[in-house]
Amino acid sequence: MKLNQVNQEIIMLGDDAIGRGAIEAGISLATSYPGTPATQILEYIAHNFDGEVEWAVNEKVSLETAIGASYAGKRALCSMKHVGLNVASDALMTAAYLGIKGGLVLAVSDDPSAYSSQNEQDSRFYAKFAKIPCLEPCDSQEAKDMTIMAFELSEKMGLPVMLRTVTRICHAYSPVRLGTVREQNPLLLRKDPANMIAVPSNVLRCHRNLIEKQEGLRIWGEKSGLNRTFKNGRKKGIIACGIGYVYAKEYGPEYAILKISYYPFAETLIKDFVEGLEEIWVLEEGEPFMEEIARRYSTKVKGKISGEISITGELGPDVLSEYIPDWNTGQRSYMPSKPLPARPPVLCPGCPHSKLYTALKAVKPTFTAGDIGCYTLGANPPYQIVDTCLCMGAGISKAAGISKQGVKRVAAVIGDSTFIHSGIPALINAVYNKANILVLILDNSAVAMTGNQPTPLTGITAKGEEGGKISLEELCRSCGVNSIEVVDPFEVEKTKAILKEKLDAQGVNVVISRRPCVFVTRRLAKMRRKAITHIHPEKRAQ
């Protein structure tokens, strides 16, 4: 660990700052499933922390592992992208009832504008839904500081705490002053059946406890100073949540600002702020979560509900520009005279998926249900072979649903990591309910889209060390599929022949298309080297 950097100010990616904050807070475990824009949180910790760092197979397993560490009295960080929380929500909702032991922080990164996501959902609703507190930083420094505060709050209140960030926090650099690393909690695993076993005889009491904690959460928030008002007799104001604060500051000193970095809060905070203001803007990423509250206390509130700001897409620094007199003076519009060709993302040159898609297209499946990963790009020209994409693991189930209506030659396409994440239950379901589908597992030996993280199929851990190794063939075989074939997608003719045969076959037939991502070999070699030099500096000389 780079302890020599304590008190030094460095420039940091938001994700790195969260990772650093977790290390400074004395975590004993970090766990995550890769997902843009949250991926680098765990990667930073893997490179800079001696303790347990894990890529989990999915977000639910990740959160449950973190809860286990918390039960052992330790602090744990669980990070994920916004849609990952849908997967983990089952664990979250009841974990909030039961409460936790060692501090547990859930760092969730939203992706407004869906730059690299299937939707742009707002995680603040989950915090409210689960009745857990939520902290929302506006830059890297706050991301680090609030991660540490979140751990303190978590242990004080016995609740998981959410740290909500967005793409422009996670993937933005700004200065951060590094702090000292707190000692880890001692191991303290105690049985507490009344608060560890979610059965009917316990849960109503646990729910009451959770409700009773809410007042304490509001009081903690007030004392924390995370929500601050800068007013001083101004006529116009901005309620700015999370990153909304830095955008609000761009519009100059004539705006009063209510900076919101913490939920839940007493609504008198909003009531007092809007009082006397002639114009109130609400700047928040995602849904009009705050605006709904503010509208109860003033008719002068403008934002996404009133329609001036779009609910879709990220805020950016320009959302208020057109409503501010003189802001755009002197600007001209520099649009080219002719429309410009679009440039959607494409599969990289030499990508094994592109060869596979060439073969799949040639054998003309009736319908191809895709999944989440680089291979989703098969929906775009020139392939246009992926007909649907919904969420992690959904391809196999959707294909089965279509096939069960009597449609023949239906294919599902799923990546190796996505298959492990949530494709396995879908495969078992398809076998059990006797669907007739071709399941194509694209095994490129990595979570490619997020930067080639290792998977259980590679047997390499987050730190680049030797882990347990899972065999995809044996896994599928044990699910009871009718047949398993392994092809090299670069052998296009052979691949075509097998795909054709299996599309026409009865039952659930798996074809594994196996060839590593073009970047993976290099990346994994580099990871191993880094892990050795960062984690074991003494090995450097070897």
Query: Which residues of this chain interact with another protein, rule CB under 8 A?
Result: 10-11, 36-37, 39-40, 115-117, 139, 167-168, 171-175, 246-247, 249-250, 316-318, 321, 328, 330-348, 374, 377, 380-382, 449-451
> How near is the Cβ of 218 to another protein at its closest, in Å?
28
Q: How far is the CB of 327 from another protein (least distance, A)?
A: 9
Nearer to another protein, 151 or 245 (CB): 245
CB of 2 to another protein, least distance (A): 14
Nearer residue to another protein within complex by CB, 203 or 348: 348
Q: What SS3 state is found at 75? A: strand
CB-wise, 475 or 524, nearer to another protein? Answer: 524
Contact (CB, 8 A) for 157 and 185? no
Distance CA 235, CA 278 (A): 6
Distance of closest approach, residue 249 Cβ to another protein, in angstroms: 4
Q: How far is the CB of 490 from another protein (least distance, A)?
A: 20
Cα–Cα distance, 475 to 97 (Å, whole number) = 35
Considering the complex, what minimum distance in angstroms separates the CB of residue 316 from another protein?
A: 5
Rounded Cα gap, residues 368 and 353, in angstroms: 14
Most distant CA pair in the chain, distance: 76
Whichever of 68 and 451 has its CB closer to another protein, that residue is 451
Rounded Cα distance between 55 and 26, Å, is 19
Q: Which is nearer to another protein, 310 or 482 (CB)?
A: 310
Contact in structure between 1 and 178 (CB atoms under 8 Å): no
Cβ closer to another protein: 116 or 184?
Answer: 116
Residue 45 CB, shortest distance to another protein, in Å, is: 17
- Range 104-128 burial, b when 16+ CB lie within 10 A, else e: bbbbbbbbbbbebbbebbbbbebbe
387 dihedral zone (left: phi>0; alpha: psi -120 to 50; beta): alpha
Closest distance to another protein from the beta carbon of 319 (Å): 11
Would you call 516 helix, strand, or coil by DSSP?
A: coil
Q: Residue 249 or residue 494: which is nearer to another protein going by CB?
A: 249
Q: Which is nearer to another protein, 158 or 451 (CB)?
A: 451
Closer to another protein at the Cβ: 425 or 537? 537
Q: Kindly tell me the sign of the dihedral angle through the C-alpha atoms of 57, 41, 18, 83.
A: negative
| Beta carbon of residue 198, minimum distance to another protein (angstroms, whole number) | 35
Quick one: 130 or 374, whose CB is closer to another protein? 374
- Shortest Å distance, C-beta 105 to another protein: 22
CA 22 to chain centre: 17
Q: Is the peptide bond before 37 cis (omega within 30 degrees of 0)?
A: yes
Instruction: Please classify residue 182 by burial: count the beta carbons closer than 10 Å to its beta carbon, then call 0-12 exposed, 13-18 middle and 19+ buried.
Output: middle
- Residue closer to another protein by CB (options 120, 139) is 139
Torsion sign (Cα): 192, 197, 199, 203: positive
C-beta of 478: minimal distance to another protein in Å? 33
Closer CB to another protein, 17 or 472, in the complex: 17
Q: Min. distance of Cβ 377 from another protein in angstroms?
A: 7
Whole-angstrom distance, CA of residue 148 vs CA of residue 105: 9
Q: How far apart are CA 473 and CA 419, in angstroms?
A: 12
Q: Which is nearer to another protein, 53 or 248 (CB)?
A: 248
Give the tokens for residue 376.
Answer: 């989703």
User: What distance in Å separates the CA atoms of residue 499 and residue 375, rounded to the nearest whole number?
Assistant: 17
**DSSP letters of 276-319?**
T-SEEEEE-SSSSHHHHHHTTT-S-EESTTTTSS-SSS---TTT
- DSSP notation for 200-242: HHHHHHHHHHHHHHHHHHHHHHHHHT-SEEE-TT-SEEEEEET
d(CA 396, CA 417): 14
Closest separation in Å from C-beta 295 to another protein: 26
CA-to-CA separations, 482 to 118, 343, 504, 514, in angstroms, rounded: 32, 41, 13, 19
Nearest approach, Cβ of residue 39 and another protein (Å): 7
Pairing outcome for strands 410-415 and 437-443: parallel
Q: Which is nearer to another protein, 161 or 372 (CB)?
A: 372
> Which one, of 318, 264, 313, lies nearest residue 285 by Cα?
313
Query: What are 415's two structure tokens?
Result: 């990546």
Query: How does strand 161-166 pair with strand 104-110?
Result: parallel
